[in-house]
Amino acid sequence: MGREKDLSGLQNEAKVRLCPDCKNEEIEHRNGEFFCKKCGLVIDE
C-alpha cells in the first residue's frame, strides 16, 4: 500500500507536438488521443 511507481525517464518525456496539418502547437490530449485544438485533426503516433 502506498508504494510509489517510478516511471521517471521512461514515459516522462516532454515531447513538443505539432499539428502536421496547420502546424499549431496547441495539442490537446483526451481519451488517449492527441488532437489539434485548432483544426481538430487527430494526431496518431
Contact residues toward Zn ion (CB under 5 A) are: 19, 21-22, 24, 36, 38-39, 41
SS3 21: coil
Select 14 or 42, whichever has its Cβ closest to Zn ion. 42
Structure-block grid coordinates of residue 18: 505539432
**Cα–Cα distance measured from residue 6 to residue 21, given in angstroms and rounded to the nearest whole number:** 35
**Cα–Cα distance measured from residue 19 to residue 3, given in angstroms and rounded to the nearest whole number:** 37
**Cβ of residue 29: shortest distance to Zn ion, in angstroms?**
14
Select 33 or 39, whichever has its Cβ closest to Zn ion. 39
**Cβ of residue 45: shortest distance to Zn ion, in angstroms?**
16
